[in-house]
Amino acid sequence: MTGSNLGENSNSTTYKPAMSQSGLRPTHPVTVVDEYGEKKDQHIPGEFPLTIRIDDTEIVTLMTLGSQPEALTLGYVRNQKLIDDLSEIKSVHVDWDRELVVVETQSGDGIEDWQEKLNRKIVTSGCGQGTIFSCTIDKLYEVKLPPASIRQSQLYELIREVGKLNDIYRSAGAVHGCGLCEGTKSLIHVEDVGRHNAADAVSGHMWLEGITGDNKIFYTTGRLTSEIVMKTAFMGIPALVSRSGVTQMGLELAQHLGLTMIARAKGKHFMIYHGDENMTFDAIPPQRMTPPPTKGMLDLKPG
């Protein structure tokens, strides 16, 4: 877990299944040739297939950085609502030689009603093609999020803090970062080749440590699609912040769930797409001399 600062949020008495420790190094050296014909040493992130199997049932194959496969697996089965309680899981074992992670349940019988749950899949817009099962969407409307309360000054400090944590991105690029935050602190921070993987790994760490989403903020460098909104809601987190933009379905889902959605959050700039009543504007910056970038938005000029 990178950027970890769990402190009192970690519950050491929480049940933990037996787990392998099979994280791979996140970056790999390569030699490239630039536009001047000169050789340079660079680093690139890893990308490996990892098939999740629950007892004898293969669920999905993910493409991942490979640095936190156990947490990724736990977060995936949690956010897909395939397993509801961590105590149902006996062990999680990763075997990179077989590109396989096996989740062994206490019963050994796999997922209850697994054929029905896995019957229909939706391929999402996530990097690397995310997948959502129909059973996941069915349970979404049962979610009741806790209230959100954010101060503008807190948000600015948080943006500065999470910007310091993207170590893999700074050294190799080509990854997204996601984090669980409280106040101005990052409690958990994960980078992966897809933002949905990073989000799932954060969820896996929360599950292992018994951390709830109350009073928390979920931060991501990626765009706020319906998939990310779903994952945030299933983690019980009432506020979502991104340095990128939002999609229409992502916004509509956030509105339905009552999730505070903040995007385009860079420096002193941000845009609240939903939940502005939950923001305390205690650090309003001076007016800009020039308007902020409007990528993805239309400039409305008086006729």
- Residue 46 CA to its chain's centroid (Å): 18
pLDDT per residue as tens digits for the range 263-291: 999 999 999 999 999 999 999 999 877 76
CA distances from 150 to 112, 241, 289 (A): 39, 11, 27
- Residue 136 CA to its chain's centroid (Å): 16
DSSP state of 207: H
Closest C-alpha to 239, from 221, 254, 261, 257 = 261
Give helix 226-234 / helix 195-209 axis angle, nearest 10°: 0
Residue 22 and residue 122 share a domain: yes
Residue 156 and residue 111 share a domain: no
Residue 264 and residue 237 share a domain: yes
Q: What is the pLDDT of residue 129?
A: 46
Range of the domain at 91: 14-140
Look up the CATH number of the domain holding residue 31: 3.10.20.10
Residue 275 and residue 157 share a domain: yes
- Provide the phi-psi class of 267: left if phi over 0, else alpha when psi is between -120 and 50, else beta: left
Residue 255 and residue 189 share a domain: yes
Q: Is 105 a residue whose pLDDT tops 60?
A: yes
Look up the CATH number of the domain holding residue 177: 3.40.140.10
Residues facing 32 on adjacent strands? 40
Residue 166 and residue 274 share a domain: yes
Decide if 63 is inside a domain. Answer: yes
Q: What is the pLDDT of residue 244?
A: 97
Q: Is 293 a residue whose pLDDT tops 50?
A: yes
Total of domains in the chain = 2
Q: Is 238 a residue whose pLDDT tops 80?
A: yes
Decide if 175 is inside a domain. Answer: yes
Q: Is 303 a residue whose pLDDT tops 50?
A: no
